[in-house]
Every structure is written in structure tokens, then in C-alpha cells.
Amino acid sequence: MKVLIIEDERKAAAELRSMILALRPNWIIADILPSAADAIEWLTENRCPDLIFSDIQLADAVSFRIFETVRTDCPIIFCTAYDEYAIQAFETNGIDYLLKPVDMNRLERSLSKLELLQRNKTAAASDITRLIGQLSAPFKKTVLVHLKDRIVPVAYSDIAFFYYAKGIVTIRLISGSAYHIPQGMDELETAADPHIFYRANRQFLINRDAVRTIEKFFARKLVVRLTVETPEALVVSKAKASDFLNWLEKGL
């Protein structure tokens, strides 16, 4: 395997080179390039290596500019201190995304993954597609609650319901604890997995795991009882009743 390293931090480049050769002594480090300009020149004048390790934020440009300028068919493992480029990385021949500082065990998993993907290109395409789908999923896992000088991460799965009243949104946990948060209900609904949370009405966004019973109400409305107390009756309108029951039964 002929490997090219694109990294503008000399120490980080040397450490990565040492780790690669420690794990794969028979591999060849073709070159270590400190900038996007150097990488474009090298890739223009040389045959594409078997593998590229690339930092993302280089001194003169983000590394994606390299691969937009020069066609490269080889796989790329991105190494960076930032996680916001993950989706773009997987759309640029990326097969893995390592956060700095890179450790030996994580690097070994990346190299093993590369070797597996090379043995089965069909599996490679499927794996990359799955990773992009996971990274681009819009649903959040936690809500950050600010308590004076502390920030408390609260998992969506632990929240029984979100409740809006008088311009304030309150979250009530399945355990019974409650917090006020600054986000609006529309923002929270968009961030929540619709298979798990349902906007029952203007006031309530509820977790299916917190639903205890459903009672028929007048005018074909529904009253939903949760496993924790609600500040007011949780009523689902006639127009939404069928959709709510379908969601509760099928998760749709």
C-alpha cells in the first residue's frame, strides 16, 4: 500500500506516519504534504496513491478543495479536530473520519475497515451510504438544559413530554423532574424523532413510552393519560385522533 499524508502540523504528521508503519510495516509512505497547494501539485504530477490520510483544515484551504480540483479515485481517511465536516467527508471518497488526537486502536479499526472494503466493493458502497444516512439524520439525542453555571444534557428518551404555556417551554422527565428551556416547540418537534415523539396539540409534544392510557372524549376527541402528571388535560382533537392512534400503534 502506497500512502499519502496531507497534514500541515509537522508533529501530527510524524506521529501519524509512525503509527501507520507500526501497524502496517510493509506499507510505504509516499510523501507528507503540508498544504492544499502542495497536494494539488503532487496529485497532478504523480499517480494516485492507494490511500490518502488528510487533515481538513489546512493552512491555505480546507482539503476538500484538493479533491474538487484533482480527480482522485483512491479512498481517503480524514483526520481532524472538528466533527462538523463528517457528511462532506463521506461524500468525498471518505471511508472513515478520525478525530484528533488519533489513537492506535482507532487507527487500526480504520485500516481494518479499509482492507475489508477493498475485499468487497459492494459492501463498501453500502457501508458508506449507511454512514452518510446516520450522520445526516436530523434528529437530536439530547436537549441541553442551562442551570446557572451548569449545562445538563438530557436525553430525549428520558423526556415524557414538552409543554408550552405563557411563552415558556417545560420538559418533564419520565422520572418526574422538570426544567425550563429556551427552545420553541416547533424547533423541538423538528429535532425529535417522529417515531418516538408526537405533537399532540399546541401545548404538548409527547413521548410514546410515557403514554399510559387513552380515553374517548366528547366530539370524538381523545384524552391521553401519561405516566407522569401533566399541568393540564392532554387532549387530542378529532382531526388528529386517527393519526395519533395510527402513530401510537405503528410508530408512523
Question: Across the 252 residues of the chain, what is the mean pLDDT of every consecutive 10-residue run?
Answer: 94 94 95 94 92 91 89 88 63 78 90 82 57 61 87 92 94 93 89 90 94 90 95 93 88 55
* C-alpha cell belonging to residue 214: 387513552
Stated as kind and residue range, the H or E segment containing 235 is strand 234-236
Domain boundaries of the chain, sorted by first residue = 2-136, 142-250
> pLDDT, tens digit, for every residue of 169-224?
999 999 999 999 998 998 898 888 888 999 999 999 999 999 999 999 888 899 99
pTM here? 0.48
CATH number, domain 142-250: 2.40.50.1020
Pick from 70, 26, 65, 69: nearest CA to 47? 70
159: cell is: 423526556
Rounded Cα distance, 13 and 34, in Å: 9
Copy the grid coordinates of residue 135. 450522520
Contacts of 168 (CB under 8 A, 6+ apart): 180
Examine domains 2-136 and 142-250 and report if their fold is the same.
Answer: no
Give me 99's grid cell.
Answer: 478525530
Residues facing 151 on adjacent strands:
146
CATH class (in words) of the domain with range 2-136: alpha beta
Query: CA 73 from chain center: how many Å?
Result: 26
